[in-house]
Amino acid sequence: MPHDPTAIRNVALVGHHGAGKTTLAEALLAATGAIPRRGSVEKGTTTCDFEPEEIARQLSISTALAPFTVNGVKVNLLDTPGYADFASEMLTALARADLAVVVVNGTDGVQAQTKDAWRAAAKLGLPRVIVINKLDRERADFDRTLAEIRAAFGAGVAPVELPIGAESAFHGVIDLLGDTATHYDTPPPNTPADGTVPPVGREGPIPAELLDEEHEVHEQLVEGIVVGDDSLMERYLGGESIDYHELEKSLASGVASGAVFPVLCCSGLTGVGVDRLARLIEELCPTPSSVPPITVAAGDTTTEIPCDPGGAVLLTVAKTFTDTHTGKMSLCKVVSGTLTPDTVLVNTRTREEERLHALQVLSGHTTTPTTSVAAGDFVAVPRLNGTRTGDTLAPKGQPVTVPPPQLPAPALHVAVRPATRADDDKLMSALQRLCDEDPALSVSRDDETHQTVLGVSGEVHLAVTLERLERKCNVHVEREELRIPYRETITAPAQAEGKHKKQSGGHGQFGVCHLRLEPLPRGEGFVFHDKVVGGAIPRQYIPAVEKGVIEAMAGGGVFGFPVVDIAVTVDDGKAHSVDSNEVSFKMAAAAAIRQAMVEAGPILLEPVSKLDVTIPAENQGDVLGDLHSRRARIVGTDQADDGFQTVTAFAPTAELTRYAVDLRALTAGRGTFAVEHDHYDSVPDHLTATIARGQS
């Protein structure tokens, strides 16, 4: 294990689903000797995709760590999912990386999640390198894809390579910085033709038909590099030829500052250009010690912690997962210090001590024991039972917290119920276990509707969560319709007299009370007035009247939903010297309010949510039309960044139960939204009967 942060690189592989990230990760491992063969690119046989849910869907679901070594430098490659439902995995990886490698499909170009990954990396201030992958495929076009990249990401995009050949004839790469070409020979005879053996790269001449283009793009690249260095610029303008290593150093500086975004080309499937990508990652990626110190919270103050192997040991938990053999595992990034086995640290969230026993180097789902891990590197630690994703482990007496990544709130909420009584006993603890592993998942218990509610990122995330619940926890659930917490109120004054009389031998029960109901402004809740005079109802029974009113309101009005926003006045009644008691007046009050509600013009109220929808500008018309169809009231549209707009609206909560799914379809996965309860409003008359029938 390297103990020098300058010999470590932390890289997140990001991009749209289907861009070939996992195949490229596998090719990088093979090209650098981390694995003897790349194996099949089918999910389930690769280093990075190994969970049953990934294998079944042929889809990356979780971020996987795949380290390899190039030129004596350890590269921690974080292979992230590209599907929108699992964007939180991508965001978490970016927060712990020092470089984002944005993979673009050479056939499909810049897609929705490509742009989302770019925006997320830019928000974090991460340097970025762009890789055009799948150039061996039919319809792959480097020039067209490069034009799309420039249009999407603007200034700073600079190709440092050109492809040799197109589609199935793609067999080499031109290095624009060094004015050289690398040609990749076909595999030797009797070699499997499934791409499992990396091709061999050899330096050769630049094809004559590409010489003019190469010279032109080379000059553009050099000019773009030297413009950021006054000394190099002066020498360049003076006609001096700039040395390759000087250009490379200046390029790395431009990448680190976020001024230059190099564009490379390769094929993860055939291996063409992959070895060059590995070397360029090592050369261009900032070291953990060269990036700004991490800012941590210490009570009400903040402090900066540099990446120093000699400092106090500080860890942040990047991922929690369950290993088949060792159980719960925590993948941690060592922020500071050098970690050794049996170190005792404190979880700054729980304030509990954690002893870090066996330390493991992780590659996919394979672990290897290690005796020390230095600042800037990753380590897997088993059996940290009180620790979850996002936690900080700090020395005793130093309760500092590394800020966890900012993840979007769950976009889709669904209700589930246990399939059997045995499942009921285990359900909440099992769901909490999954929440500890997956910070994008939330679980709550709605005391009003008596439903267990899961918050997920989308339908695929939900399906994966339920499958994991069954596979990992042996808990089976059934999905049910999410109940909306409607309310009732009144629109006109009314009054009624309630009586409760019961005689069954001995002391009986007797109580009479007269109530007046009046509507209150929306959101006022409930007000109770005592206007009884002359002792018509003894003072000691007035609280029982109020309690009877409150319980009757909570139990439901004319439509069966809790009653709100009314004022109730008790102004008369009757009592019996022997038979009256608290129960009698509570029952009488309940009867009176039920009678009065019928005459008071009852109406239904529905919860209304405030909705902030961030969408590409070109989708504004479709999204606004969809919101209007959901009975939404648009209150504003603001310009966001990078061609996005934010629409603010108020919409009935019942109309938003599947909004996450529908918005994704309307915006090709690029729309996001935040929602929160705002107020209650009256339900349109034509919907009242339908809702009431559903309650009965």
**Where would I find the H helices in 438-555?**
459-473, 542-555
Tell me the mean pLDDT in the region 269-277. 93
- Which amino acid makes up residue 632? A
Is residue 548 helix, strand or coil?
helix
Sign of torsion, CA 584 585 588 590? negative
Q: Are 678 and 608 in contact (CB under 8 A)?
A: yes
- Dihedral pair phi/psi, residue 80, rounded to 5°: -105, 155
Q: Are 193 and 270 in contact (CB under 8 A)?
A: no
| Residue, of 661 and 73, whose pLDDT is higher | 73
Measured CA to CA, the distance from residue 453 to residue 462 in angstroms comes to: 12
Measured CA to CA, the distance from residue 114 to residue 15 in angstroms comes to: 5
- Which amino acid makes up residue 687? L
Measured CA to CA, the distance from residue 124 to residue 455 in angstroms comes to: 26
Measured CA to CA, the distance from residue 640 to residue 635 in angstroms comes to: 16
Tell me the mean pLDDT in the region 269-287. 93
**For residue 198, what pLDDT is reported?**
62
Measured CA to CA, the distance from residue 62 to residue 121 in angstroms comes to: 18
- Dihedral pair phi/psi, residue 13, rounded to 5°: -95, 110
**For residue 187, what pLDDT is reported?**
55
**For residue 39, what pLDDT is reported?**
44
Q: Which of 111-125, 184-198, 211-225 has the highest mean pLDDT?
A: 111-125
Measured CA to CA, the distance from residue 72 to residue 70 in angstroms comes to: 5
The per-residue pLDDT of the chain, averaged, comes to 89
Is residue 423 within a helix (H) or strand (E), and if so which, with residue range? helix 421-437
Is residue 462 helix, strand or coil?
helix
The pair of structure tokens assigned to 395 is 């020395």
Which of 129, 200, 130, 214 minimizes the C-alpha distance to 164? 214
- Dihedral pair phi/psi, residue 228, rounded to 5°: -90, 0
- On the question of pLDDT at 242 being above 80, the answer is no
Tell me the mean pLDDT in the region 625-640. 92
The pair of structure tokens assigned to 384 is 């940290």
- With cut-offs at 50, 70 and 90, classify the pLDDT of residue 535: confident
- On the question of pLDDT at 526 being above 90, the answer is yes
CA angle at 647 for the pair 641 and 650, rounded to the nearest 5°:
150
The pair of structure tokens assigned to 363 is 């590659």
Report the 10 Å Cβ neighbour count for 638. 11
**For residue 561, what pLDDT is reported?**
92
Per-residue DSSP letter, 457: S
Is residue 411 helix, strand or coil?
coil
**For residue 193, what pLDDT is reported?**
47
Is residue 24 within a helix (H) or strand (E), and if so which, with residue range? helix 21-31
Measured CA to CA, the distance from residue 185 to residue 199 in angstroms comes to: 6
Is residue 413 helix, strand or coil?
strand
The pair of structure tokens assigned to 546 is 């109020």
Least confident range of 78-92, 167-181, 234-248: 234-248
- On the question of pLDDT at 189 being above 70, the answer is no
- With cut-offs at 50, 70 and 90, classify the pLDDT of residue 44: low
Measured CA to CA, the distance from residue 94 to residue 78 in angstroms comes to: 9
Residues 134-165: tens digit of each pLDDT = 999 999 999 999 999 999 998 889 999 999 99
Q: Which domains are delineated in the chain?
A: 5-284 (3.40.50.300), 294-394 (2.40.30.10), 415-480 (3.30.70.870), 487-601 (3.30.230.10), 604-695 (3.30.70.240)
Share of the chain above pLDDT 70, in %: 95
Q: Are 347 and 393 in contact (CB under 8 A)?
A: yes
Which of 420, 582, 584 minimizes the C-alpha distance to 510? 584
Number of H helices, E strands in the chain: 16, 36
- On the question of pLDDT at 689 being above 90, the answer is no
Per-residue DSSP letter, 189: T
| Residue, of 45 and 407, whose pLDDT is higher | 407
- How far apart, in Å, are the Cα atoms of 474 and each of 83, 424, 459, 511, 567? 27, 12, 21, 54, 50
- How far apart, in Å, are the Cα atoms of 445 and each of 230, 379, 415, 430, 470? 62, 35, 9, 14, 20
- With cut-offs at 50, 70 and 90, classify the pLDDT of residue 571: very high
Q: Are 225 and 260 in contact (CB under 8 A)?
A: yes
Is residue 196 helix, strand or coil?
coil
Q: Are 175 and 217 in contact (CB under 8 A)?
A: no
| Residue, of 45 and 529, whose pLDDT is higher | 529
